[in-house]
Amino acid sequence: MILAVREKPRLAPVETASRPRRDNRQSAEMALFGIYEISKILNAPVRLESMLASVVNIMTSFLAMRRGMIVVIDEAGEPEIVATAGWAGEVKGRPIDSLPQVVIDRIVATQTSLVVQDTAADPLFAGTPAAHDPSRVSFVGVPIKDDLKVIGTLSIDRVWDGSADIRIDEDLRFLAMVANLVGQAVRLHRVVAADRRRLIDERSRLEKALDEKPRPTRVRAGFGGIVGDSPSVRRVMETISIVAPSNSTVLLRGESGTGKELFARAIHELSGRKAKPFIKLNCAAVSESVLESELFGHEKGAFTGAIALKPGRFELANGGTLLLDEIGEISPAFQSKLLRVLQEGEFERVGGTRTLRVDIRLICATNRDLEAAVAKGDFRADLYYRINVVPVFLPPLRERPGDILLLARAFLDRFNRENARKLSITDKALDLLGKCYFPGNVRELENCVRRTATLSRSDTIRREDFACAHGECLSATLWTGAHHVTADEQLTALKRGETLVPGLRPPLPITAPQQPEAGQSESAVDGPICEHAGPDCPALGHRAGERERLIDAMEKSGWVQAKAARILGLTPRQIGYALKKYRVELKRF
């Protein structure tokens, strides 16, 4: 039947009364074949103007029409593309002049079809060539839509003598289907054109950037809430400026309170994922069973209390950045589950069977000595190598004493904004803060400033307002009073075959050598400390006491680094770093 239709000659503009009446089946087959032919034209890789012109021309084979027109309008409602058929040598001027703007506006505004039985008698066509046509001309127009927005019109006209076998409702359905296909084609071409312009602009921008002299990237001061201008902070900020544009995994390492979350957010804001979510999770704050649900999500009914489907942090961070804080605290059993996600980029929700894939930028943070944990078997070596792609060491506050004053003022300004206060701080008070080493780092400094500001009885914070001035520093009390040995420390010592002497703290993880800041002498770095800090204060771990313990362990082990590492509970690599750090010369026997 379809072959018979293809071989059927083109319909005459006006059907005569002697022509046999078409049945519904034949009309449906012709309409279906017409839609098929038009869809092939719309899928062809040609210019949009040529494509629409071909659509109008082929419509003459399936409709009793004299002329046809497709009008695509722009954002302002003005004709952007006009494709016609049947006007060659018949009218003067442009074909678009025969279609009044008011007709286009009527179809666009109402978003419905328009049928005019006699254009010469209708006021919409007054003043147009159709008003003076001696033949009786009928007009049929339908809107072309992109989703819910009208982007043009599709219209035909035909000469009507009252004897043609034509049904308007069938023509309207056919034209509506054609208009729907045309609308999709126009939208696709516009999207492709917009992408092409964007790519051309981006290429021009990149070529211009390559032509310019490269400049070193540097994070501006105060970016992401990071306060500090010391050399150690500047080195970290320059490092994250280089690392941020890539998708490499970053491991932020540093003592508690050094601001690992702030630096992680700065990396996210400087990356290409800044428009996507920044999701964080403290792995030490939840148990192992809850941690799996928090990271991977769970299906409804997966366990008691799972009343609804819950997406995990990996799903929420898809396309963005995920920060796993305290990564060193997760159990060995969960480390293997996490390793699979990091390697394959896929996982299943708890209680689910469907495998999900995600695209995230991972940032991990820890204050633990992961090398020692790997040596003891507490942390998987393969997971360690997976997350330790780009390690970034955050300096403790004692290695950036020049930033203490900047941080103190910043915290006081924040306190004033939050509490509608106008407090100021004297230079002597700042000098007192500058002599403290703050084992809790930036977090402890902020608490100290907030506590003093809250208890201040005037608008000026003086030296005597701080607890340190009266020997009541809470941090100093904590460390000067730590003369007992905990049960965990005793148990660890017994496993090593050692005896812990009360009042002596276990050796601290090896830290980076302290460098004097610009304009500081070596004596300034080892200058006066908070007079209330005892020998157990973690901030004093880098001083002479640790060097003496290192030399003592080396002498007991016969200057064999592996044995000294077992005595101190460190790794041989850490012993090597410590020997270089404290400039201890190896003795050869």
**Does residue 254 come out as left (phi exceeding 0), alpha (psi in the -120 to 50 range) or beta?**
left
Tokens of 517: 């800041």
- The CATH homologous superfamily of the domain defined by 487-581: Homeodomain-like (1.10.10.60)
The size of the chain, in residues, is 589
Q: Per residue in 32-48, is it b (16+ CB within 10 Å) or e — as a string? A: ebbbebbeebbeeeeeb
C-beta of residue 349 within 8 angstroms of C-beta of residue 302: yes
- 220 CB contacts (<8 Å, ≥6 apart)? none
Tokens of 187: 């939208």
CA distances from 484 to 77, 532, 549 (A): 83, 18, 19
CA gap 345, 105 in Å, rounded:
52
CA distances from 137 to 7, 57, 132, 215, 245 (A): 29, 19, 10, 71, 65
The domain 398-480 is classified under which CATH number: 1.20.1250.20, 1.10.8.60, 3.40.50.720, 3.90.180.10? 1.10.8.60
CA gap 575, 568 in Å, rounded:
9
Is 203 exposed, middle or buried (CB count within 10 Å of its CB: 0-12, 13-18, 19+)? Answer: exposed
CA distances from 191 to 44, 180, 198 (A): 16, 17, 11
pTM: 0.49
Q: What is the pLDDT of residue 426?
A: 92
CA gap 566, 376 in Å, rounded:
11
Tokens of 334: 């969960």
| CATH code of the domain made up of 223-395 | 3.40.50.300
Residue 197 has a CB neighbour count (10 Å cut-off) of: 10
**Single-letter amino acid, residue 57:** N
**What angle (nearest 5°) sits at the alpha carbon of residue 401, between those of residues 398 and 406?**
125
C-beta of residue 341 within 8 angstroms of C-beta of residue 335: no
Q: Where are the alpha helices (DSSP H) in 508-571?
A: 522-525, 544-556, 561-568
In the chain, CATH 1.10.8.60 covers 398-480
Q: What is the pLDDT of residue 538?
A: 56
Q: What is the pLDDT of residue 217?
A: 44
**Does residue 95 come out as left (phi exceeding 0), alpha (psi in the -120 to 50 range) or beta?**
alpha
Tokens of 367: 């204050």
| CATH code of the domain made up of 2-191 | 3.30.450.40
CA gap 142, 161 in Å, rounded:
23
**Does residue 259 come out as left (phi exceeding 0), alpha (psi in the -120 to 50 range) or beta?**
left
Q: What is the pLDDT of residue 454?
A: 93
- 50 CB contacts (<8 Å, ≥6 apart)? none
In the chain, CATH 1.10.10.60 covers 487-581
CA 471 and chain centroid, separation: 48
Is 69 exposed, middle or buried (CB count within 10 Å of its CB: 0-12, 13-18, 19+)? Answer: buried
For the chain, residues with pLDDT lower than 50 are 1-21, 89-91, 213-219, 221, 481-529, 531-532, 541-544
In the chain, CATH 3.30.450.40 covers 2-191
In the chain, CATH 3.40.50.300 covers 223-395
Tokens of 67: 């002329």
Backbone angles phi, psi at 283, to 5 degrees: -65, -25
